Chains A and B, each alone.
Chain A
Amino acid sequence: AQSVAQPEDQVNVAEGNPLTVKCTYSVSGNPYLFWYVQYPNRGLQFLLKYITGDNLVKGSYGFEAEFNKSQTSFHLKKPSALVSDSALYFCAVREPGNTPLVFGKGTRLSVIA
């Protein structure tokens, strides 16, 4: 069965600095990978996904993620963090075929001015 791990509960970064939120996964076959963001009192918002093709995926709000098959990782990155990026970030993975989307437990990002 597929699984996803977000090893950090909390990531703190200064405004203007680059940020990385880590995600590793385990699947049988080629993964479908997703990042979502959740702001306070809101639902999850889709940021980006990797299905196939270029390993570097660009998404909303200047975020990008790099698919690394050898390391089974899909880390979320942004070159310059904003205070408004502070939120809860979820990585999710699905195997090809009729399988459910499995979410990580989330990483809380705090960007400090």
Chain B
Amino acid sequence: ETGVTQTPRHLVMGMTNKKSLKCEQHLGHNAMYWYKQSAKKPLELMFVYNFKEQTENNSVPSRFSPECPNSSHLFLHLHTLQPEDSALYLCASSLGDQETQYFGPGTRLLVL
């Protein structure tokens, strides 16, 4: 275990649903990240938070809405998703935003 947990591990949702992904890190890190991993494609950085402030939004559609209430927790709120949003969503954390990143196990999302 890396000290980064994600819930749920699997999620199936319809295009009209609203759901949230949760990430928690127990490493005392200050930076947290959301990545999208799709088959046959490199990891895509979505959002970066450093000391609870969003420092990176990599042109992500507004149907994905991140929230970072404190340095230990990160959420990704999902609404009106499309089938092409089906992927593995990975959370990561690092001590500072330039330090080594440690990943959670991911949430496998299927949008029907």
List residues of chain A with CB under 8 Å of any chain B CB. 34, 36, 41-46, 49, 90, 94, 97-98, 100-106
In contact, A43 and B105 (Cβ under 8 angstroms): yes
- Number of residues of chain B lying within 8 A (CB) of chain A: 24
List residues of chain B with CB under 8 Å of any chain A CB. 2, 4, 6, 40-43, 45, 48, 55-56, 58, 90, 92, 97-98, 100-106, 108
A43-B4, A49-B100, A101-B45 are known; give 15 further A-B pairs, CB within 8 A: A34-B100, A36-B103, A43-B90, A43-B103, A43-B106, A44-B92, A45-B2, A90-B43, A97-B98, A98-B97, A98-B98, A100-B48, A101-B101, A105-B41, A105-B42
Which residues does chain B contribute within 8 Å of A103, judged by CB atoms? 42-43
A94 to B104, CA, bound (A): 20
Which residues does chain A contribute within 8 Å of B4, judged by CB atoms? 43
